[in-house]
Amino acid sequence: MPRREETERQCALTREVKPIAELIRFAVSPDGEVVPDTDGKAEGRGVWISLGHRQVAEAQKKKAFAKSLKAEVKVPDDLAGLTRRRLEERFLNSLSLARKAGQLVTGSTKVKAAIEAGEVQGLLTATDAAEDGRNKLLGSLKGYTMAAEEAGFEPVLTPHFELLDSGQMGLALGIENVIHAALIKGGAAQAAVQRAERLARYIAN
């Protein structure tokens, strides 16, 4: 039977009860190794830890997984690093799906046009982007937001993410060196934004 959907779980490290959006689940593989269950859907018992690189590293240091499971388990040497890579993989896959759905554009010209049309659900900038290019698009986004507010529209804060370098984004999208990209409103784009938010939270914490 699939696991019952829950909106909150307890962090095995801090014992705090949090929304599952602020946690990440770890499952135990058939050979007894703790692995990130980034989608939170693996069968069997799991351990929930606050969504953050430092929290996962601390949970490993304090043997929170074995304590929570009440069993001896194998934990990879760099579980925190492995978890980040898994979150990056999920995010990159979601970008690829958004592009196939026609909900992602690349290049500063197309991104700027999407901003001015009010279509952007999430703005993506490579970590190795030039400062002037980044600032121009952020300025366009700020200008659109202010104009929309002045026109009486409900203010909407469009998230901006700098999570991966141009090579990583380009590899996922089949395009060489993607510096600027925008997720255009739609279901696939929203899923990518959610993946980006989880990765950003993990990196920051």
Q: What is the pLDDT along the chain (205 residues), one digit of tens a residue?
A: 444 456 899 999 999 999 999 999 999 998 899 999 998 888 888 999 999 999 999 999 999 999 999 989 999 999 999 999 999 999 999 999 999 999 999 999 999 999 999 999 999 999 999 999 999 999 999 999 888 888 888 777 899 999 999 999 999 899 988 999 999 999 999 999 999 999 999 999 9
Indicate whether 59 and 101 sit together in one domain.
Answer: no
Q: CATH number for the domain including 200?
A: 3.30.1330.30
Indicate whether 72 and 111 sit together in one domain.
Answer: no
Indicate whether 27 and 97 sit together in one domain.
Answer: no
Please give the pLDDT value at position 26: 97
CA-based R_g, the chain, Å = 19
The rounded distance, in Å, linking the Cα atoms of 191 and 25 is 19
Q: At what angle do helices 108-116 and 131-150 cross, to 10 degrees?
A: 10
Indicate whether 185 and 91 sit together in one domain.
Answer: yes
Residue 163, domain extent: 83-204
Helix (H) or strand (E) holding 184: strand 180-184
The rounded distance, in Å, linking the Cα atoms of 146 and 140 is 10
Please give the pLDDT value at position 149: 84
The rounded distance, in Å, linking the Cα atoms of 83 and 47 is 14
Tell me, yes or no, whether 2 lies in a domain.
no
Please give the pLDDT value at position 3: 47
**Which of 163, 166, 116 is closest to 136 using CA atoms?**
116
Indicate whether 100 and 46 sit together in one domain.
Answer: no
Indicate whether 103 and 195 sit together in one domain.
Answer: yes
* Tally of structural domains, the chain: 2
Q: Are 192 and 163 in contact (CB under 8 A)?
A: no
Out of 54, 77, 100, a domain closes at 77
Q: Are 161 and 124 in contact (CB under 8 A)?
A: yes
Q: CATH number for the domain including 51?
A: 3.30.1230.10
Out of 77, 104, 119, a domain closes at 77
**Which of 100, 96, 101, 122 is closest to 111 using CA atoms?**
122
Whose structure tokens read 């946690």?
A: 23
Residues 6+ apart with CB under 8 A from 38: 24, 25, 83, 86, 87, 90
Indicate whether 122 and 30 sit together in one domain.
Answer: no
State the DSSP string of 122-183: EEEE-TT--HHHHHHHHHHHHHHHHHHHHTTPPP----EE--S-HHHHHHHHTSS---EEEE
Indicate whether 99 and 188 sit together in one domain.
Answer: yes
Indicate whether 97 and 191 sit together in one domain.
Answer: yes
Q: Could you tell me the two tokens for 203?
A: 């990196």
Q: Are 205 and 138 in contact (CB under 8 A)?
A: no
Indicate whether 72 and 124 sit together in one domain.
Answer: no
Please give the pLDDT value at position 163: 97
Indicate whether 56 and 125 sit together in one domain.
Answer: no
Please give the pLDDT value at position 1: 40
Out of 28, 56, 77, a domain closes at 77
Indicate whether 107 and 25 sit together in one domain.
Answer: no
